[in-house]
Amino acid sequence: MLNLLKTFLIGKPLLTSELSHQRLSNWAALAVFASDALSSVAYATDEILLVLKQVEGQPIFITPWVAIAVTTLLGIVAVSYQQTIHAYPDGGGAYTVSKENLGTIPSLIAAAALLVDYILTVAVSISAGTAAITSAVPALYDHRINIALILILLITVANLRGVKESGILFSPPVYAFIGCIGWMIGVGLVRFLIFHEEPTQPPLPPLMLLEPQEPLTSLIWLRAFSSGCVALTGIEAISNGVKAFRPPESENAGKVLKRLVFILGSLFLGISLLSWLYGITFSDQETLLSQLATVIFGKGLFYAVIQSATASILVLAANTSFADFPRLASILARDSYLPRQMQNLGDRLCFSNGILILGACSALLVQLFSAKPHFLIPLYAVGVFLSFTLSQSGMVLRHFRIKEPNWIGKTVMNLVGALATTVVLLVVLRTKFSHGAWIVCLLIPALVYWFILIRRHYAKFDLQMSLPLELPSHRQLKHTIILPISHIHRGVLSAIEYARSLSHNIRAVHISFDETSDTNMKSEWERLAPDIPLAILNSPYRSIEKPLVEFVKKVDAEDPQDLITIVIPTFVPPRVWQNLLHNQTGLQLHLAFRELRNVVVTMVRNHLQ
């Protein structure tokens, strides 16, 4: 039944030889890797207006200028990642760049920042998508957390079906969003600039638009700029997943990055300009895109289409993280900084362990922060710009070391980008630290420390498990069999036969809770196996594991060179659900003996009809 459900949800397993056929075309890759960056169009200008709302007079006239500055930085960062794609075609992004050029600790900081960023991307995008849904249907506002959790579950299952299939599935909503927002920007600009039509709701008074009532401080400009820089989030995704593209991987990844930057910059600038022209201010109850769609089209059919497309892209923005988080985790696992199971490909040739972990972590965040994106974005920005800064700084050092053609110009470009992203990072820390950014500041060092502990464990493991220079000569081991018996049944017969095939030194053990039944147990055992001694251990606290473990330790102390095998009779019911009707004592004992040396645990299973 479980296998049928699994096949229904994620599809039939794929052959390893089909891995090359799971690569993405450029159009599908744009939908998979660019959905996060494109989704920021839905809330980046909102974040700028949120800062300006705190200034007397709400000087929204600076919004387009802030957007131009953000778009300029977008171009600089994109050029840097364009270089990264060709310099490091195996993927890994900021982690790989930092590892080669800055050292181990900076690379682990970049990796931790990226992993945190990907988890937060899912939480932010799903929460923002839920906000778009509740803006269109206010009655659903109180159910936003449940809606967000259901969306995370759906997108997790979709990604477990494989990269190629998820790309085909998610492409139409991404391109629908691009078309809808592009059409809205075009119609809005034509109506306002050419036909001079009055919007359906009046803008702010002209003086308020042109002149702020108090001078703007440089800190306000920087805060607005750093808030608008959330439009850059996700721009690094393509450099992390180069191996997902069809050959030639680097060339195709570079083409998709150029398309992404052009589309993202155009939409972000267009929305920021419209928000100024139509006098839109920040609202906690309605998103900017919802307000713009209402102003331009009214609450009609096209408004519903735009809200649907916006909700879709915000939800599907999480898909970028589901494409990149497992890949980065697999690279870290390859370098022994994460559990090696993260390298395993699932039935659909995707890193299913990473997908499941990402889904669980993001669901927890959504629950903790009540599915409100404005609470999550301060956490979101720290990891993004920390990885940006490390990546661009690493590329600066690489240019100095290699000195390829035009290296001076490339160095200047990366240096400017590194300085700009550093400024944004410092401003975010300065303004958002008390609003939740401190959590990320603690989480990233904790993750780095965890990476180091895992690496140390694997180093010790590999050292202890490596073969010695001279292989030991074969020697005959003494072998003692311990046979735990709860009561006499047919499964005990199979266990006795198996134990006798291993050794003649067999000891049966019975844990007694009731002394009155001990006599019957002894007589039955004498009739069944008189040649095997039976030890009866009283357990006044009704524990099975503790007295049995103590008994095994005493047997082991008699001869430390002795090998002990514990043979546990158990049974398998014909239906999976029937396991819930039994105590599963065998599994409990199996876990209880894990820490003992020279002890082997064997389960002798009897399959019931």
Residue that is written with structure tokens 């000195």 in the block: 403
**What is the rounded end-to-end Cα distance, in angstroms, of the chain?**
18
- Rounded Cα distance between 593 and 550, Å, is 10
Residue that is written with structure tokens 């809606």 in the block: 147
Residue 535's nearest CA partner among 520, 545, 548 is: 548
pLDDT of res. 527? 86
- Rounded Cα distance between 293 and 303, Å, is 6
What domains can be seen in the chain, in order of their start residue?
31-457 (1.20.1740.10), 479-607 (3.40.50.620)
pLDDT of res. 18? 61
pLDDT of res. 363? 93
- Cβ proximity of 89 and 238 under 8 Å: no
- Cβ proximity of 373 and 43 under 8 Å: yes
The DSSP bridge partners found for residue 566 are 482, 601
pLDDT of res. 110? 92
- Rounded Cα distance between 498 and 313, Å, is 60
DSSP characters over 387-409 = HHHHHHHHHHHHHHHH--TTHHH
Q: Which stretches within 234-317 are classed as H helix?
A: 237-240, 249-277, 288-297, 301-316
- Cβ proximity of 349 and 20 under 8 Å: no
Give pairs for 184-189: CB < 8 Å, separation 24+.
Answer: 184/274, 184/292, 184/293, 184/296, 184/297, 184/306, 185/267, 185/270, 185/271, 185/274, 187/296, 187/297, 188/274, 188/277, 188/278, 188/292, 188/295, 188/296, 189/270, 189/273, 189/274, 189/277
| Residue numbers in the chain where pLDDT is lower than 50 | 200-213
Q: Model's pTM, two decimal places?
A: 0.78
Residue 292's nearest CA partner among 139, 189, 161, 172 is: 189
- Cβ proximity of 36 and 233 under 8 Å: yes
pLDDT of res. 17? 60
pLDDT of res. 7? 65
Residue 28: strand, helix, or coil: helix
pLDDT of res. 21? 57
pLDDT of res. 587? 80
